[in-house]
A and B are shown apart, each in its own frame.
Chain A
Amino acid sequence: MKPILKPFAAALSIAALVAASSAPADDWPNRPLTMVIGFAAGGSTDIQGRVLANVMEDYLGQPVNVVNQPGAGSAVAYTRLANNRDQGRTFLYGGITALTFTPIITRVGYEIDDFEFLATLAVGQNSIVAASGQPFSTFEELVEYGRDNRLTYAQQTALDEAIMRRIAAAEGMNVAIIPTGGGGGMAPLVLGGEVDFAYSGGTHAQYTDGGEMIVMAFMGPERSPFYPEVPTLIELGYDLVMEDYRVIAVPAGIPDRARERLVAAAEQASRSERFRRVTEDNTNFPVVFYDQEETEAAIRRIRAANEAVLGD
């Protein structure tokens, strides 16, 4: 470098330093973000996630690209997220069963501590449902009926099956449990009268309005706002809960600035009319905002509860 240019170069580099350090704090993110969905396109998580990405994009001022990483009920997506080094530019929107349930029954390559859970945005609607027009219409009547008659129950996960086995054992009911492989497989079995009652994660919503299905018990800790007259399992006298949250997860230890901005974007999304409409009206998940501390505590609590239920 010629000597005469040196002062210029120094000035330039100082200017660059100043510019870098005094950059507006709202600078993050300065590159597009990636939202990972642990399911194939078209499911309830995907529908909610795509609208959420849209809302967050408006707030953060950078595109949020949605990437589907299907496999093993999001376990594949969590495995990849645990190894992600994008400093918060890649985050996951999805359920928590891959953390609270899957690791109990099989070996996975991640643990709860590998992640931070920045917020909960929606609460799942696990319920016990049946077709209308049966000899029973409440859970008490179902239990009474099941003491004298063989009942068939359509499960979707090992967890809801374990819960139903506990209830059946406690009440002396005769219940045969069959697999369905998901809500799409449950509906025809219930509507066609092949099974007497079933677990549903939310698929029932489109049949309860028309009166084809009834909800007999809600599996969350509190009653569902959509079916306020339906009791929870706890109210019915069983100390059993099956909860699902839709959360935003990032690899543990992302920069503080990224965390702040993502939390702010999530909180703003929970108040957004667009996100609320798609989540509540179309997928029947109530929209909430639980902060990071609350979400992480809930995940550990649910994990412990599931271990207790599946323990035997």
Chain B
Amino acid sequence: MDFTVLGGAIGEALTLQSFIGIGGGVLLGYMIGVIPGLSRSVAIAIAIPMTFYMSPYIAISFLIGLSKGTAAGSAVSAILLNAPGEASSAATALDGYPLAKSGKPKTALQVGLLASVFGDILATVILIFVAIPFARVALMFGPYEMAAILAFALVFIAGLSGGSLFKGLAAGGLGVLLATIGLDQQTGLPRLTFGVTELMDGLPLIAVAIGTLALSEMFVQSERLRLQRGTMSVKLEHRPDDRLRWPELRRLLPTMLRGTGIGTAVGALPGLGPSVGSFMSWGLAQKLSKTPERFGKGAPEGIAASESADNAVIPAALIPLFGLGIPGNVSAALLIGAFAIHGITVGPLLLRDDPEFLYSIFAGMILASLILLVIGWYGLRLFAQVTRVPPHVVIPVVIFFCLSGMLLQGYGTFGLIVLMAFAVIGYLMKKFGYSFVTFIVAFIITPMLELNLRQSIILSGGDWSVLLGRPIALVFIACTLVALLVLAWRTVRGAVGPAPAGD
């Protein structure tokens, strides 16, 4: 690493303009994240035109700051309102909302923020020093490995929801079925579209996620409001012990480290995305905990695990982007577009041809994390006030944001119909104890699993022995089988695991 280049890069990162640009990006992202209905990729897509008039360095740092802001901000609505704005924050709500409800909203928000910033900075450091030279490792994960990992993620995350195996299968099966709608990836022939052009690309994930996760929660809460006035969301009482203390934070460090590790690995593998990261991390934290029964009932470890992984995915998704020119997820793909607008081709050549630019972006990313810490820290005092707003005001406002956010994506009336339909489905699932987490995870994973499985089967020509030369795939297949057996065993014994997914 050339230190004069590094010095110059840091110099550029610390100008007033970059403070304003990156700070603006983080603030905007944070606010968008807080509002349920506006998601990370939408935020980037909308903000790209705003960067036309910025210098390339500020433009890219602005956009990365924006994604970091949304990842941290989406924890706020998940914790305070149980209305995660994105699927990746749904894992945060599992523990965040109960903790806030038990009278510690500030602690919950603080844990979420600190875990976000921790995962963020650490993953950025990994990106800079370790990952880019080793980005080629990601190429070892071909279709066989990806299919095995996705199968494992599906079984593992579905198993977290506990409760009845049959209800779990029903919820997961619905997710799988609905995810197959749209044009077949190879033949281009329509499946289950019933002649509706809008369905040719499948049900838009964003509408399904916001409907099932956020909007349905507003239905649940308005019903509760009607039955028993005044107990909606969180009552923020000024309890003197509602504050995160150092010993407690120290106990969370191993969880955050693990979460960052999972988030980094998931982000570095093209395609997996933040929701897989946050749920895997939450699940692993629960399995490894000495007191797994606390999870889903307000364990700070649950928030820390989910948020650190969610935020670690963002810098990690840039590993394949900078190392190989392959975007790690949708937001990273959008960044390629932003780079291109500014005349920069992202990929392995960037490090060779323009290292100063690359290092100044890294410096900008660290700066963004620090700004996020400051904004989040002061912001959470402000956002905690939301809990004082009466529910009959909060509920319609959130519904409004969900609907208008959907319109912003450009799906039109069709998007609103899908959103409402899945709000109803989500409401019924919550009402009758079907795991909406299993449903949404199955819906997200199925298209990727299908593609990679088809690739594997065609590439191998149906020959199982190919797997013998694929140790990584074998390990994950073994893990999947073990997870399945454990699930079956738990059902046979009739033991009911912790049930975070229900209400």
Contact = CB atoms under 8 A, between A and B. Distances in A.
Nearest to A188: B326
Interface string B441-470: 000000000010011001101000000000
A41 B47 CA distance: 10
Contact of B337 (A42, A70, A188, A194): A42
B143 A179 contact: no
Interface in A200-241: 206-207, 209-210, 212
A108 interface: yes
Interface in A99-113: 102, 105-109
Interface string B176-201: 00000001011111100001011011
B225 interface: no
A282 B343 contact: yes
Interface string B316-335: 00001000111100000111
A206 B190 contact: no
Contacts of B1: none
A283 B340 contact: yes
Interface string A49-84: 011001000000000001111111001100110000
Contact of A105 (B188, B197, B340): B188
Chain A binding surface SS class: mixed
A54 B49 CA distance: 10
B349 interface: yes
Contacts of A281: 343
Nearest to B345: A206
B340 A47 contact: yes
Given A76-B197, A179-B451, A181-B185, A210 B49 contact: no
Given A47-B337, A194-B142, A282-B345, A42 B197 contact: no
Contacts of A210: 347-349
A276 to B, nearest CB: 12
A109 B201 CA distance: 15
Given A41-B48, A282-B343, A71 B454 contact: no
B411 interface: yes
Contacts of B48: 41-42, 50
B470 to A, nearest CB: 11
B355 to A, nearest CB: 15
Contact of A191 (B201, B324, B336, B343): B324
Contacts of B340: 44, 47, 278, 282-283
A51 B337 CA distance: 12
A33 interface: no
B345 A188 contact: no
B349 A187 contact: no
Interface residues of B, number: 54
A194 B143 contact: yes
B50 to A, nearest CB: 12
Given A46-B337, A105-B189, A185-B451, A70 B347 contact: no
Interface stretch (A15-23, A117-125, A152-160, A287-295): A152-160
Contacts of A108: 197
Contacts of B49: 50, 66
A193 B140 CA distance: 9
Contacts of B343: 277-278, 281-282
Contacts of A80: 412
A178 interface: yes
A32 interface: no
A24 B139 CA distance: 61
Given A46-B337, A51-B341, A150 B45 contact: no
B273 interface: no
Contacts of B336: 42
B376 interface: no
B186 A161 contact: yes
B337 A187 contact: no
Interface in A152-201: 152, 155, 157-158, 161, 176-181, 184-185, 187-189, 191-195
A71 B325 contact: no
B459 A176 contact: yes
Contacts of A143: none
A104 to B, nearest CB: 10
Contacts of B335: 42
B236 to A, nearest CB: 38
A275 B412 CA distance: 29
16 contacts: A41-B46, A47-B337, A47-B340, A50-B52, A70-B201, A71-B197, A72-B200, A76-B198, A106-B190, A178-B459, A179-B455, A180-B451, A187-B326, A194-B459, A210-B347, A283-B340
Interface of B: 44-46, 48-49, 52, 138-143, 183, 185-190, 195, 197-198, 200-201, 270-271, 320, 324-327, 333-338, 340-341, 343, 345-349, 410-412, 451, 454-455, 458-459, 461
